[in-house]
Amino acid sequence: MPRLHLPAFLTRPLQLTRGSLLYAALVLLVLVFVPLIVTTSRWMHAVRIDLTTDHLYTLSPGTLHIVDGLRQPLKLTLYFSEHATRDLPQLRSYEQRVREMLQEMVARAHGRIRLQIIDPVPYSDDEANAEGSGLTAASGGSNGERVFFGLAGNRQAGDGDNEVVSQVPEKALSIPFFDPAREAFLEYDIAKLLYELDQTRKPPIGVISALPVEGKPVLGQQPWAAVQQLSQLFDLRMLDPAQLKRVDPTLKMLWLIQPTHLSSDALYAIDQYLLQGGHLAVFVDPDAEQLQSSPYDVGAALPEHSSDLPRMFAAWGVVYDPRQVVLDRSRALQIELAGSSLNHPAMLGLGAQELNRNDVITASLQRVNLSTAGYFDLAPDAGTRLIPLLQSTGDAEAVSTQRTMQATADPASLLQDYRPDNIHYVLAARLQGPFRSAFPERAGEPGHLASSRSNAEVVLVADTDLLSDRLWVETQTILGQPMLSAFANNGDFIANMVDNLSGSSALLSIRGRATSQRPFTRVEALRNAANQKFLQKKQELERELADTRRRLEELQPAKGGSGDTVTVEQRREIEQFRQRQMAIHTELRNVQHQLNAEIDALGLRLKFINIVLVPALVILIGLLYGWRRARHSRRRRS
């Protein structure tokens, strides 16, 4: 039988070199890596890793709770003027930050949120839709174009799979403009929009007030402007404290305004509402000037102007004295009294420096006016935390309430013997729990709670006069119709407070975040050094230039005079000064060019380091490592 002879290369034992193993590994890596990338990009697009220092793109637990709890599908439309912002790099960078935050929420929503990004070019239907959605256009774009940068949200009727959802009415809300100054509250603003879009009715708000905030229709008195404003957004329910035994837990918030004449049962109902997770705002005042028209004035010799919650404040660790009023002469409002203008140190106009820029309630406000306000502090053994919202300056002084009431006809007398306390008095604050019950003796009653959760919050304001129209709004007649014109942000303060507290606990838990803008501290230091290097020379030349111009003006003949009055020596001196003036201008240009050259050289050095030097070092290290490995391998073979 003939024997079968195989080729020699098949009969030799298979020998794999290091090079062939390396090539085989590379081929295997490509065969595995490419399908893996395609698969993850197609099926695992929602899986992301946030490697930023402050976890800028990681949604907070409160936002996750809101997004996961959405009941209706929502449509979001981000309007951004791409062409008009081509010369605005800061705004374009912030747009990317906003877009990535929205995409993170969309990925988390699993189809319940649809996002569309539109460039509303001028005179287009998209621009008209942006304006119709409530967006505000900013000026300053390229070629004078308007810049749109806002978010429109819609909940459309008929969305959803079941009959209940399909009967939900349409709803549209918007963020008119994404201001980079509010970047710290970007997540809060978007989450708030989602939360409000998902609500099917106005949030119910309970109000207990000893002030006539609802007006008196019988007497033709309209509700206060702050209440009219809130009634458009919330379902305000006035509660009778005389009949209050229990606060409805479905109320999103309870608002106490000048709480006087409250029975023990009413106080206990408020206490338990807070401990059950309810949101509470308390407005007290050492001298409520609007209380004169209160129903409690009937039959009273003098109106009760002060209010306090001593038992509850003590349980919360809050120190408040209704017999003290804060004066601040550096923030005194100017008033008209007896035909003359004067500054009233008990009526305060707080500016941006006295407002907490890190709290969503006051971050965007510019001015809040108060009158005869008190102040809050914490007791030494308090287990709560007091975060100021409104503060006085250090030039403030606390005086007795009686003294301010006696100075009603002569407010200037409050400045006599004025001695600043060098204390920034807290006029309004956010108080964070946990809170203890102010009624421990009622622990045996059914459903009694002894303490609240750790994330409970109360907003405290030591003034009720800021609610009155006279401190923030005036009525103007336009085309025969009365229109309200605001000259302070009191109404915005109230709206922001109610809006914040009436949201879910998840929304309240979202705090301000770090911004994505990172200053180039090293670059700024080098820039400042370059500025200092040439600053002295520049100042010397500018002084000499000013002296030269002044001397020229002195030598020039007076207007209307004859040119023959100028002597030959004067002409020669004038010409010399003009030549020197031109030389100084040239030197100043050279100094500025040198400064710019220093800064440009700094930029080139940084670019060289980042683009050339660092990659070259990485390559060099890799080559050295490969050379050492090859050398070590050759030694082992030899």
We report the CATH number of the domain holding residue 184 as: 3.40.30.10
In a domain, 367, yes or no: yes
Q: Rounded distance, CA 458 to CA 441, Å?
A: 23
| Contact by Cβ (8 Å): 280, 274 | yes
Question: φ and ψ at 158, to 5 degrees?
Answer: 95, -10
Both 187 and 211 in a single domain? Answer: no
Residues 193 and 274 placed together within one structural domain of the fold: no
User: Under a CB-based contact definition with an 8 Å cutoff, are residues 157 and 170 in contact?
Assistant: yes
Does some domain include residue 101?
yes
- What is residue 627's predicted lDDT score, i.e. its pLDDT? 81
Residues 285 and 426 placed together within one structural domain of the fold = yes
The amino acid present at 465, given as its one-letter code, is: D
**Which pLDDT does position 611 carry in this prediction?**
76
**Do both 551 and 487 map to the same domain?**
no
End position of a domain, from candidates 197, 228, 243: 197
Residue 208 pLDDT: 96
Strand partners, 80: 149
- Report the length, in residues, of the chain: 638
Same domain? 379 vs 485: yes
Tell which phi-psi region holds residue 261, choosing left (phi > 0), alpha (psi between -120 and 50) or beta. Answer: left
Give me the residues paired with residue 231 across strands. Answer: none
Q: Which of these three, 197, 230, 260, is where a domain ends? A: 197
- 23 falls within a domain: no
Give pTM, 2 decimals: 0.69
Which residues, 6 or more positions from 222, have their beta carbon under 8 angstroms from its beta carbon?
Answer: 215, 228
Residue 611: give the domain boundaries: 522-556+569-630
13 within domain boundaries: no
H-helix segments, 82-212:
89-109, 125-132, 163-166, 186-198
- Angle between helical axes of 89-109 and 186-198 (0-180°, round to 10): 40
84 and 167 inside one domain: yes
| Tally of domains within the chain | 3
Q: Which of 197, 214, 233 is the last residue of a domain?
A: 197
Examine the domain organization and report whether 124 and 182 are in the same domain: yes
Helices H / strands E in the chain, number of each: 16, 21
Q: And the tokens for 175?
A: 């963020």
DSSP state of 265: H
Q: Which residues of 254-289 are buried (b: 16+ CB within 10 A; e: fewer)?
A: bbbbbbbebeeebbbbbbbbbbeebbbbbbbbbbbb
Cβ 469 vs Cβ 338: under 8 Å: no
pLDDT attached to residue 19: 63
In this prediction, the residues of the chain whose per-residue pLDDT falls under 70 are: 1-19, 22-23, 37-57, 156-169, 292-304, 477-482, 504-505, 508-509, 511-542, 545, 548-549, 551-552, 554-567, 570, 577, 581, 584-585, 588-589, 591-600, 602-603, 638
CA distance 248 to 263: 17
Task: Assess if residue 77 is contained within a domain.
Answer: yes
CB 448 within 8 A of CB 272: yes
| Cβ-based neighbours of 491, under 8 Å, separated by 6 or more | 225, 226, 229, 472, 473
What whole-number distance in Å separates Cα of residue 49 and Cα of residue 57?
Answer: 9
Which DSSP letter does residue 292 get? G
